[in-house]
Amino acid sequence: MNHHTHNHAGHHHGHDINQQVLKVSLIVIASFMLVEIIAGFITGSLALLSDAGHMLSDALALGFSLLAFKLGKKASNHHQTFGYKRAEILFALLNGLTLIIIAVFIIIEAVTRFSNPPQVASQGMLVVSILGLLVNLIIAWYMHRHSDIEENLNMKSAYLHVLSDLLGSIGAIIAALCILFFDWRIADPLISIFVSLLIANSGFNVIKSTLHILMQGAPKHIDQSKLITEIQQVKGVENIHDFHLWTLTSQQHLLSAHIVVDGNMTVHQAQNIRQEIEHLLQHYGIHHATLQMESQEHGHNEQLHCKMHDNHNHHAHQH
């Protein structure tokens, strides 16, 4: 008896608002990024260019998030039975890689500047980086106020990008002040390296979490031992085995398991047990479960679950 549960009502309205916020943020950030790139070349400031690099990563992150929402809406078909929701994870991976590539380029350029720091037009650099800070503050406030940054990983990662970009703007302001007042031209490449390390760190974190999902890893926030124990405590459940838990996208967790019940119970009783387990799973944020009800006569021994229960790192796989 296989059964699937779905509970995605109310998601669409949130998605539409999230998409609107992403569109506005993308237009503002991409426009200002162009200003920073031009200003970076005119003033000769690497800190401005590294901040523009960070803004480019923001624009990419926002663009990828937007595309992921659009693709996620595409219906599933016989080629893609889960639909295109995983596109979000692939775009996030791509985004993480771009962050690291940008960081590497800036660090290489900064290292070459240490031996001979070029003259930087610090006043122009200061004006542009203050504007950059204001743009980031407005976008961060706008995203925090109008979108779902708590629940949706796609939105949250875009928001975190904007926040880390704020640091980049502050860095460029500090570098400009150091050059303006103390003629510390070395501040420009130094701060660029600092900003680049922040960019690279964001990139590594994004790659790490996306690879975990792509490798069918179990959601980190769900305590599997506790969940299995709670399922076993449901009245009528004798055992549980072939338990698999994995993530489709940042907000969609899937579970499949074989639930052993008394072979003498009626289909109606088994249905009630299944509904109780599904209700329990929803508290864990698992809205799609495939539960196979079976009796002990299937010949699965009692030790199967004990072994699995002790070994907390069960690998999850997709059927």
pLDDT of residue 319 exceeding 60, the answer is no
Distances from the Cα of 105 to the Cαs of 73, 176, 307, 311, in angstroms? Answer: 36, 21, 49, 43
Residue 71: CA count within 13 A, CB half-sphere: 19
Q: Given this model, what pLDDT does residue 15 score?
A: 67
Phi, psi of 221 (to 5 degrees): -85, -5
pLDDT of residue 302 exceeding 60, the answer is no
pLDDT of residue 318 exceeding 70, the answer is no
* Mean pLDDT across the chain: 79
Mean pLDDT of all residues in 154-168: 76
Q: In this predicted model, which residue has the larger pLDDT, 242 or 80?
A: 242
Q: In this predicted model, which residue has the larger pLDDT, 240 or 154?
A: 240
Mean pLDDT of all residues in 290-313: 55
Sheet (strand 237-249) strand order: 237-249, 252-261, 288-295
Who contacts 82 (Cβ-Cβ below 8 Å, separation ≥6)?
76, 248
How would DSSP label each residue in 163-190? HHHHHHHHHHHHHHHHHHHH--TTHHHH
pLDDT of residue 87 exceeding 50, the answer is yes
Residue 154: CA count within 13 A, CB half-sphere: 29
What angle separates helix 122-146 from helix 11-43, to the nearest 10 degrees? 180
pLDDT digits (tens, 9 = 90+) for 224-273: 889 888 888 888 888 888 899 988 776 678 899 999 988 788 888 888 88
Q: Is 300 left (phi over 0), alpha (psi -120 to 50) or beta?
A: beta
Who contacts 61 (Cβ-Cβ below 8 Å, separation ≥6)?
95, 157, 158, 161
Q: Given this model, what pLDDT does residue 89 score?
A: 78
Cα 22 off chain centre by: 15
C-alpha span between 51 and 169 (Å, rounded) = 6
Mean pLDDT of all residues in 87-108: 82
C-alpha span between 143 and 156 (Å, rounded) = 9
Q: Given this model, what pLDDT does residue 81 score?
A: 67
Q: In this predicted model, which residue has the larger pLDDT, 165 or 127?
A: 127
Query: Which parts of the chain are beta strand (E)?
Result: 237-249, 252-261, 288-295
Residue showing tokens 């595309």 = 67
- In eight-state DSSP terms, residue 4 is -
Q: Given this model, what pLDDT does residue 265 score?
A: 81
Mean pLDDT of all residues in 199-216: 84
Domains within the chain, CATH numbers bracketed: 14-215 (1.20.1510), 224-294 (3.30.70.1350)
Q: Given this model, what pLDDT does residue 168 score?
A: 79
